[in-house]
Structure 1
Amino acid sequence: MQRWDRIEAFVEVVRLGSFSAAARHLKVSTSHTSRLVSQLENQLGIQLLYRTTRQIRLTDAGTIYVEHCRHLFDGLRDAEQAINELQARPSGLLKLTAATTFGERFVAPLVNDFQCLHPELEVHMHFTNRAVELIDEGFDIAIRMGVLKDSSLIAKRLCERREYIVGASDYFRQAPRPHTLAELNQHPCLLGSRPFWLFEVNGQRREVRLEGRWSGNSGPALLDAALKGLGLAQLPDYYVAPYLESGELVAVLEPFQHHDTAVWAVYPRHRHLSPKIRQLVDYLATHLEAQLPGRR
């Protein structure tokens, strides 16, 4: 502990520019502060400061030593701030974006529950299927699905997500079930917002580009087309789970199902993550799974 006190005295003398200012900050006498720095120099066996009646100046050794010591105190302050933030209640404005249907059905109710627990929080939710630029557009969190692109953003997995190739049971009374990806060309394929379907072949991601006579950027519309027997569609489990259970839809090509299409909370990298972001992400990770059909 003596060594720590000596280091702290030295760092504060350098930071504040004088022994008297450092002493006031440390709430000790100037002579005690000077003595601590002298003891540190004796301990290290090298001079750290040039002292005159008007100013102090770092020696070469002092310059090197203070740079390393500052990290110790920065780390201590970071640790104290992290503990304080852990105990803090979420407050202020929180801006969140998510895909329209998923956000409205599954994310919004949980965010509303979270705000009920933390009435000091102001929430702004924006639902769009457009890829929002979080930092440029001032959002705190985005809920994203599927395989994420590499970026400087932090991503936390909230729950698993599986995509199924499905067709109506009535459709398969007239058409054979495909067993290979090549057989997809024999079926009318219903396309969503992307021009390909995602599969996993021999442990590798594969994008299969398809053409069809139906396309749309709405999950519910795509589901409706599949239920009405217009062709095959690739849809996530939370859309199709009730219909697979009832038998209205039939899943095919399951051996080629991609296994890394989770639901993610994505947010900018911060040195200190605010309580509102950290606690909401933890809340979603705890409760989202139970919201989705077929997961209870």
Structure 2
Amino acid sequence: MSDWRGVSEFVAVVEAESFTGAAKRLGLSVAQVSRQVSELEDRLGAKLFYRTTRKVTVTEVAAVYYQHCRSVLDGLADAERAISDLQSSPRGKIKLTAPITYGEESVMPLVNDFLKLYPQLEIDCQLSNHTVDILAESYDLAIRVGNLRDSSLIAKKLSSRRRYVCASPEYLDRYGMPHTLAELDGHNCLTGASEYWRFHEKNKLRTVRVTGNIHCNSGYALVDAALKGLGIIQLPDYYVVSYLERGDLLTLLDTYQEPEEGIWALYPQNRHLSPKLKLLLKYLADHLPDSLRNAGVVAAR
């Protein structure tokens, strides 16, 4: 079949699971999408969707047809990117996602610097602590922190981070310093998303349940509380590095500190890694701060 009208609309409806969602994605009216799909069904001589007022379901024929169409459209997109890459200066859009705090503190300032070098690029960045489906949502790149789940994505390590248990000198003067994990039970431990802190003991990962009178999903709020002598915190280095270097916070239980975690760039295997994306990955790898293993961190004694 040489007539490809309606194929993009068909694929968009399958992926959005609705004609309305497909229309929004393509920037068309719902009527236009419906008309193109209907004409495609007529040309194929096959029904592609079961439609009700509440739901759109693909037929068995459509499920098979979608796989072929998706492959063809991906190939066309790769071909267009390859042509674009022949340009002397990187251009076009890069769509990426990153965790909120790490994205605000570390990723986006570097992306903004990168844009100053290549002003013909366009960046679409969504910061979220939810794990997005980068294939389904057409992301070029995802920045993830920590241990990765098994996936079909390619992972490139950009940097690393460490978690630090720390408290202010004021708190330690008043309540003393814990020397073992068991002693945390007698301290006010300020927690975020989890009541379990992670440590490394006898070459094994260990989690310890801690309690305290502040539970907040903001790392900055927990840092502020620790600086005011309210308790002990465990947070990644990018929250506390400046305070540790100045001695406003002191590290605790360093012998139990878990190994550093990777900071990763993930991207689809089946997508052409364009020069603009290679440039961005190299820029991030060259400029993202590494863990604080060599920084002037002050430990409590």
Contact 1:147 1:260 in 2 (8 A): no
Match of residue 141 from structure 1? 141
| 3-state DSSP of counterpart to 1:137 | coil
Runs of 5+ unmatched residues, structure 1: 1-80
Question: Where does 1:4-153 land on structure 2 (aligned, <5 Å)?
Answer: 89-153=89-153
Q: What TM-score do the two structures reach when normalised by structure 1? A: 0.65
Q: Relative to structure 1, is the Cα distance of residues 271 and 106 closer, same or farther in structure 2, using a 3 angstrom cutoff? A: closer
Match of residue 76 from structure 2? none
Q: CA–CA distance in 1 between the matches of 2:209 and 2:278? A: 38
Contact 1:159 1:285 in 2 (8 A): yes
Q: Relative to structure 1, is the Cα distance of residues 90 and 193 closer, same or farther in structure 2, using a 3 angstrom cutoff? A: farther
Match of residue 194 from structure 1? 194
Match of residue 33 from structure 1? none
Match of residue 13 from structure 1? none
Quote the offset at 1:190 in angstroms: 1.0
| 3-state DSSP of counterpart to 1:263 | strand
Quote the offset at 1:162 in angstroms: 1.1
Match of residue 17 from structure 1? none
Match of residue 244 from structure 1? 244
Quote the offset at 1:142 in angstroms: 1.8
Contact 1:88 1:275 in 2 (8 A): no
Q: CA–CA distance in 1 between the matches of 2:292 and 2:140? A: 24
| 3-state DSSP of counterpart to 2:174 | coil
Q: CA–CA distance in 2 between the matches of 1:237 and 1:127? A: 19
Question: Where does 1:273-288 land on structure 2 (aligned, <5 Å)?
Answer: 273-288=273-288
Quote the offset at 1:115 in angstroms: 1.6
Contact 2:97 2:125 in 1 (8 A): yes
Q: Relative to structure 1, is the Cα distance of residues 200 and 131 closer, same or farther in structure 2, using a 3 angstrom cutoff? A: same
Quote the offset at 1:109 in angstroms: 1.5
| 3-state DSSP of counterpart to 1:222 | helix
Pair member with larger Rg: 1
Residue-by-residue CA offset, 1:193-225 (whole Å, 9 max, x unaligned):
233212112222222233332111111111111
Contact 1:163 1:234 in 2 (8 A): yes
Runs of 5+ unmatched residues, structure 2: 1-80, 297-301
Q: CA–CA distance in 2 between the matches of 1:161 and 1:136? A: 29
Following superposition, which runs of at least 4 residues in structure 1 exceed 6 angstroms of deviation?
A: 290-294
Match of residue 8 from structure 2? none
Q: CA–CA distance in 1 between the matches of 2:200 and 2:159? A: 19
Residue-by-residue CA offset, 1:119-150 (whole Å, 9 max, x unaligned):
22110111222222222222222222222233
Contact 1:178 1:253 in 2 (8 A): yes
Contact 1:99 1:129 in 2 (8 A): yes
Quote the offset at 1:86 in angstroms: 9.3
Quote the offset at 1:186 in angstroms: 1.0
Q: What fraction of aligned residue pairs are identical, expressed as a percent?
A: 49
Contact 1:162 1:262 in 2 (8 A): no
| 3-state DSSP of counterpart to 1:248 | coil
Question: Where does 1:215-294 land on structure 2 (aligned, <5 Å)?
Answer: 215-270=215-270, 272-289=272-289
Q: Relative to structure 1, is the Cα distance of residues 293 and 254 closer, same or farther in structure 2, using a 3 angstrom cutoff? A: closer
Q: Relative to structure 1, is the Cα distance of residues 295 and 141 closer, same or farther in structure 2, using a 3 angstrom cutoff? A: farther
Amino acid at match of 1:90: P
Match of residue 59 from structure 2? none
Amino acid at match of 1:103: G
Q: CA–CA distance in 1 between the matches of 2:189 and 2:177? A: 13
Amino acid at match of 1:264: W
Question: Where does 1:153-164 land on structure 2 (aligned, <5 Å)?
Answer: 153-164=153-164
Q: What TM-score do the two structures reach when normalised by structure 2? A: 0.64
Residue-by-residue CA offset, 1:31-58 (whole Å, 9 max, x unaligned):
xxxxxxxxxxxxxxxxxxxxxxxxxxxx
Amino acid at match of 1:244: L
Residue-by-residue CA offset, 1:221-273 (whole Å, 9 max, x unaligned):
11111111221111112221221222211111111111131222222223532
Q: CA–CA distance in 2 between the matches of 1:205 and 1:282? A: 32
Contact 2:161 2:291 in 1 (8 A): no
Number of matched pairs: 216
C-alpha RMSD of the superposition: 2.9
